[in-house]
Amino acid sequence: MSESVSAPADLLATQPLARVHRSGIEYVLLGTAHVSRVSAEAVRMMLEREAFDAVAVELCPSRHQAISDPDALRKLDLFQVIRQRKVGLVAANLALSAFQRRLADQFGIEPGAEMKAAIDEAKQRQLPLWLIDREIGTTLKRAYHSVGFLDRMSIVGGLGSSVLTREDVGEDEIEKLKEGDLLGSMFSEFARESPPLYEALIAERDRYMAAKLREHAAGSSARKVLVVIGAGHLKGIESELATQNQIPKLLAEQLALTPPPSRWPKILAALVFVVIAGAIGLAFTHGARAGANALLAWTLITGGAAALGAIAALAHPLSVIGAFIAAPLKPFRPGIPASAISAGIEAWLRKPRVADFDTLRDDVAHWSGWWKNRIARTLLNFMFVTVGTIAGEYAAGVHIIRSLF
């Protein structure tokens, strides 16, 4: 059974609050806003007013680590990030950090202060802390794979705009933030217009968090749990807690699955290689000189475009040379891409300093900081060389084919 309630006529009376009773457990859902000092105070007041057996927060393990461990970024293994091709995911997290920094500058409060208050209070009162949100990387991947090409560009644009713009957060975004969802705010316009995007960013997470609450409760003796969540998730989680029938662990695992990558990019890349290889072979039938010119064009255009990507990232000259050499060989040697080779050289030659880790979140809050910080610049190197290599392959293919006719 679910019932909305109101607190006494004080600070808590202004906060979204609901209670759900299920299987002998009372879940007290406290809706918060990520940019409100009042929300942080409401968390403390709630724990003072009532006795709870556990505290649940809208955090995933990685976001919890970022809040509770200020030195977490120092443990970042840049070579491992490059080797496992997680550059895009790390860059997306840094873009989110840039958005958070803009909010901190504008409102004078660090976003997530209410979550930090819940963590601190739970530790002080020796209460179990339940992390119930889905990993942000999984959410972004599911959102990305749930929409078409144009909406995917909107996601990339939303992340990019959080880095490139220095303007204050607009009124529409502020209203969204008052509902307490950071991801929803970053992509608010796209989420409203795209049901699949809304599903991945909001609705799926409502189901996931409700399932995690039930899963934690099943393995605990807790009978009363304070659930600190963004106000935008309150109604969804309230409804899910009251109506969910699936086995919570299985439901959470299902919602945490990363969609398999589409086969089309690989198929398209293979077709492009076949066409270009065929064009170069055809050029040799026109004479050794024509074939040599085709190979030279392939090398110069693909290598040059990749090198331009590295130059745009202000990479070390040897990183630029690495991109130039590796890019033309990409179709002929499966394995490490030119971007990983160039970024790996960059990370080796310009090893991140302690100061780069300490200032990373502040540096990426401004677009120029991505080039000043050695960690961020290495990530840019990887991404720019990737774009340059792809653009160079298509440009070289068009040039070679045109030269034959």
Q: For the residues 129-142, what does the mean pLDDT come to?
A: 88
Which has the higher per-residue pLDDT, 254 or 187?
254
Do 286 and 166 reside in the same domain of the chain? Answer: no
- pLDDT range class, residue 107, cuts 50, 70, 90: low
Q: Which helix (H) or strand (E) holds 3?
A: strand 2-4
Cβ neighbours of residue 286 under 8 Å, at least 6 residues apart? 404
262-269 long-range contacts, Cβ below 8 Å, gap at least 24? 262/145
- The strand pairing partners of 21, in sequence order, are 26
Q: Dump pLDDT digits (tens) for 56-103.
A: 999 988 888 877 776 665 666 676 777 766 776 677 667 666 666 666
Mean pLDDT of the chain: 81
Do 296 and 368 reside in the same domain of the chain? Answer: yes
Domain count, the chain: 2
- Residue 166: domain span: 2-255
- pLDDT range class, residue 5, cuts 50, 70, 90: very low
Do 197 and 227 reside in the same domain of the chain? Answer: yes
Q: Which helix (H) or strand (E) holds 8?
A: none
Q: What is the C-alpha separation between 364 and 374, in angstroms, rounded? A: 11
Do 163 and 60 reside in the same domain of the chain? Answer: yes
Do 248 and 146 reside in the same domain of the chain? Answer: yes
Q: What is the C-alpha separation between 151 and 54, in angstroms, rounded? A: 39
Domain boundary among 255, 285, 309: 255
Strand ordering across the sheet containing 17-22: 2-4, 17-22, 25-32, 224-230, 54-57, 129-131
Q: For the residues 100-128, what does the mean pLDDT come to?
A: 81
Cβ neighbours of residue 328 under 8 Å, at least 6 residues apart? 298, 299, 302, 303
Do 124 and 20 reside in the same domain of the chain? Answer: yes
* Burial group, residue 403, by CB count within 10 angstroms (0-12, 13-18, 19+): middle
Contact between residue 34 and residue 111 where contact means Cβ atoms under 8 Å apart: yes
Instruction: Indicate whether 165 pLDDT > 70.
Output: no
Q: What is the C-alpha separation between 239 and 29, in angstroms, rounded? A: 11
**What secondary structure, in 3-state letters, does 159-183 show?**
HHHHHHCCCCCCHHHHHHHHCCCHH
Do 243 and 268 reside in the same domain of the chain? Answer: no
Domain boundary among 224, 255, 286: 255
Do 87 and 206 reside in the same domain of the chain? Answer: yes
Do 288 and 233 reside in the same domain of the chain? Answer: no
Mean pLDDT is lowest, of 39-48, 66-75, 135-144, for 66-75
- pLDDT range class, residue 113, cuts 50, 70, 90: confident
pTM (2 d.p.): 0.69
Do 224 and 284 reside in the same domain of the chain? Answer: no
Do 158 and 277 reside in the same domain of the chain? Answer: no
Do 23 and 73 reside in the same domain of the chain? Answer: yes
